[in-house]
Amino acid sequence: MLFISCALFLVGLWDITVIEAKRSFLNPYPRFKARPHAPNEDVGEPLFLTPFIANNSIAAGRDAARVTHSAIPKDIESYSGYLTVDEATNSNLFFWYFVAKLNQDAPVVLWLQGGPGASSLYGLFTENGPFAVRNDMKLQPRKYSWHMNHHLIYIDNPVGTGFSFTDKEEGYSTNETHVGANLHKALQQFFTLFPDLQKQPFFVTGESYGGKYVPAVAHTIHRNNANAKVKLNLQGIAIGNGLCDPYHQLVYGDYLYQLGLIDGTTRDQFHQYEAKGRDCINKKDFKCAFDVFDELINGDQYPSGSLFKNASGFTSYFNYLQTVPDPGDEYMGKFLQLPETRRAIHVGNNSFHDLEGENKVEDHLKLDVMQSVMPYLNELLREYRVVIYNGQLDIIVAYPLTMNYVTKLNFPGMDDYKKAPRHIWHVDGEIAGYAKEAGNLVEVLVRNAGHMVPKDRPKWALDLVMRLTHGKKFGKY
């Protein structure tokens, strides 16, 4: 499978242990191992909000979902709990919603992490949420939090990710149709629970393997909105460093050669692997394609290592200025294990599925990895604004590899896009990057950022999402 081995921090409630763990090739996110809670620790009970909605006890459900925690500033209003998306398998998605601080009529933004199998709480605590965790378990307000100007929703997706769970194997998603359907069911319930948000513009955002999830749920909303009980005011999407079309994106040879990380001989070897992978995709043998790129980039199934690792010495693919992964964020892991935190966010003693050890989410989506969501994007581009952005320094989903598929999108306005000028994008006088837009498509390169743009360049990422949600062009200050 597409993993690399690396030393990671696995966090108990009070201690940190370094072990050898496995990491998905698209997944830079840390793993945290929960220790069992002592009998005298009050972690509360999981809060299932679907029964409140079914009984039309909306106000009571909202009140029950309110988050109260001694470390969270009182001026940050938030709600969390579980939304059941399949009663037969007892499949439940966990969400944490932050009310917009400055404007109650603000747009609504959904954030989805990648993986597959990475918790969106990573984005909350380390990328774009209201706060980060300090080493003393206090919360440090984030200056460029997206919740200042947006109602911000984080969902652990798909089922089996983070605090989300299912009781049966068939509850796990095996394709993006199922992912999109589950998210749509959860969002229908969320907007029922918070009806004042239904009229607000709604945007779906995410990164990495979220490049599949974001178009999947947006497409599901688009196709079903007319007959849905709760209509969502979808206006656009944003995908950061997203894997959307492996056939055109997983072509690393020329890029790595131009960076100087491999020589001409290794580049030619890359070309051979890439051709084989594309042939597998053309034959719809997606397991074959998965295995080819594992040998090329990741090497989990090969004791001698991947071609990329052996040629470059790199064990990280998320920023070409870093040869090894960043240490896991032990503070976030410790904070999530605090009894007060579990009680406050209404997860009780439920397991936190964090990609350590067996990753059932990825296992079930293995045949999905090498499939394309370009058809979804082509359809969405006809009606919604689509922002596709990349950090300049990423390897695994690099800007030129993303452009390989972006230039092959098919939508009204594509001819205009090909002729459109590329603008220098400024934020407060700084060159944040470069943008090109035509029709509903906006593609952006973010300077000096790797795979996780909001983490590396938070000020610029906030400006980027504000331009999406407030309809502002990138060619203007």
Q: What is the pTM of this model?
A: 0.92
Q: What is the pLDDT of residue 324?
A: 76
Annotated active-site residue in 368, 394, 456, 463: 394
Neighbouring C-alpha atoms within 13 Å toward the C-beta of 311: 23
Strand-pair partners of 301: none
The model's pLDDT over 323-347, given as tens digits with 9 standing for 90+, comes to 777 665 678 888 998 999 999 999 9
Given 208, 306, 312, 316, which residue is catalytic?
208
pLDDT band at residue 18, thresholds of 50, 70 and 90?
A: very low
List the single range of 15-24, 25-34, 137-146, 465-474 with lowest mean pLDDT: 15-24
Exposure on the CB side of residue 437, measured as CA atoms within 13 A: 23
pLDDT of residue 340: 96
pLDDT at 394 over 70: yes
| Dist. CA 228–CA 459, nearest whole Å | 37
Please report the DSSP string for 271-324 in residue order.
HHHHHHHHHHHHTT-HHHHHHHHIIIII-TT-TT--HHHHHH--S--S-TT-SS
Which pLDDT value is given to residue 356? 55
Give the SS3 label for residue 7: strand
Distance CA 28, CA 228 (A): 36
Looking at residue 240, what is its pLDDT?
98
Measured at the CA of 177, the angle between CA 318 and CA 195, to 5 degrees, comes to: 95
Residue 385: strand pairing partners: 236
For the beta carbon of residue 470, count every other beta carbon within 10 angstroms: 12
Q: Is 305 left (phi over 0), alpha (psi -120 to 50) or beta?
A: left
pLDDT at 2 over 50: no
Which residue of the set 147, 248, 364, 451 is catalytic? Answer: 451
Residue 104 has pLDDT above 80, yes or no: yes
Rounded mean pLDDT of the chain? 90
Residue 128 has pLDDT above 70, yes or no: yes
Q: Is 133 helix (H, G, I), strand (E, B) or coil?
A: strand
Sign of dihedral through CA atoms 231, 236, 242, 248?
positive
Residue 70 among the catalytic residues: no
Structure tokens at 111: 């954030």
Looking at residue 297, its pLDDT comes to 83
The pLDDT of 189-216, averaged and rounded, is 98
pLDDT at 165 over 50: yes
Could you give the domains of the chain?
A: 3-244+329-469 (3.40.50.1820), 248-312 (no CATH)
What number of residues does the chain have? 477
pLDDT of residue 331: 82
Active site residue 15: no
Q: pLDDT, tens digit, for every residue of 38-51?
A: 778 899 999 999 99
Query: Is 316 in the active site?
Result: no
